Structure 1
Amino acid sequence: MRMHVAINVKNLEQSLRFYKILFQAEPTKVKDNYAKFELDNPALHFSLNVRAYENKGVLNHFGFQVKNTEEVEAAKDRLQAAGLVPLDEMNTTCCYAVQDKVWVTDPEGNPWEVFYTKKDSEFEAAEDRVMPSACCATPSKPTTTVPVSELRGKSECC
């Protein structure tokens, strides 16, 4: 399992310069509005999302990157057994990747995801082909009626 932290940034190039120095590493993916670092020491999946954040803050979301879909399903089962209602997003396109994931929100409104990255995508989100400002895709088989925007609180996906 690898910890995931996503932050909102206004200037990707400035942020990339800073984080390359801080992490002593090159990003594993860079797009016009997104970049990610996948570090081994510490085990961290860190993404930069170009977003206006005056009213929303710099935090986008937290999560855990896992090794396979079975681990996503196990996290979903564990969360449901504990009385939480995870949002299921299986086979969704987000962050320029096809992923299986589930989301929950902590009591303060911070969104957490458990995700497995299946493959890269040329699109930030599935809706990019139709609505460029959209975030992550709608789950293929919804398991709850909680809107993604409500579940994710003050953040924007990816």
Structure 2
Amino acid sequence: MKRLHIHIGVADLDQAVAFYSGLFASEPSVRHDDYAKWMLEDPRVNFAISTRSGQVGLDHLGIQAEDAEELAELENRAKAAGTPVAAESGACCYMESDKYWTVDPAGIAWEQFHSLNAIPTFNRIEAKAKDSACCAPKVEKPRVVIKNRELSCKPGSGCC
């Protein structure tokens, strides 16, 4: 069963963890100095926050697949949506994943992904807090833009 993914950039992780822990009546299932994630069942969502977005607010949305078959279905859906789709594999946040990125008409990046393994560092590197949490590569026609910023991460760049 698929799970909605939401990633939000925050300025103060401790304050945000306290707020969302109260809102969700649950502590994060993953917690690092710069990142926290709740894997909620009701509603079924992978909700992540980090201080690495470069901006406070919505970083990206997504749909998490439980297996490669579901990911293939999500890839087909993304292609059917009519915007370019970029494939990616590798480290992103604290996970290795296979994924596809696209952008909606409002300019919001959408990630369709299947998580493979947890990794101990953000994108396999110790990045600075200003580095982007979003691992989306550029997708041409249209540009991938979130909140008036073009995404510049490319597969293999160390950002994903």
Segments of 4+ moved more than 3 angstroms: 131-139, 152-158
Structure 2 unaligned runs (5+)? Answer: 154-159
Q: Deviations over 1:76-133 (max 9, x none)?
A: 123324433211112x11120011111110111001111111110012114x26x653
TM-score relative to the length of structure 2: 0.78
- Tell me, yes or no, if structure 1 residue 21 matches structure 2 residue 50: no
Q: Secondary structure at the match of 1:84?
A: coil
Q: 1:98 matched to which residue of 2?
A: 96
Q: 1: CA distance between counterparts of 2:91 and 2:33? A: 17
Amino acid at match of 1:21: G
Q: 2: CA distance between counterparts of 1:63 and 1:8? A: 15
Question: Is the 2:59–2:146 contact (alpha carbons within 8 Å) kept by the matching residues of 1?
Answer: no
Q: 2:115 matched to which residue of 1?
A: 117
Q: 1:75 matched to which residue of 2?
A: 74
Amino acid at match of 1:146: V
Question: Is the 1:66–1:115 contact (alpha carbons within 8 Å) kept by the matching residues of 2?
Answer: yes
How far off its partner does 1:57 sit? 4.7
Q: 2:146 matched to which residue of 1?
A: 153
Question: Is the 1:7–1:60 contact (alpha carbons within 8 Å) kept by the matching residues of 2?
Answer: yes
Q: Deviations over 1:9-63 (max 9, x none)?
A: 001001111111110111111111110000001101100011465xx55111111
Structure 1 unaligned runs (5+)? Answer: 140-144
Q: 1: CA distance between counterparts of 2:53 and 2:63? A: 24
Tell which deviates more after alignment, 76-85 or 63-72. 76-85
Number of aligned residues: 146
Identity of aligned residues (%): 34
Question: Is the 2:79–2:85 contact (alpha carbons within 8 Å) kept by the matching residues of 1?
Answer: yes
Q: 2: CA distance between counterparts of 1:82 and 1:138? A: 18
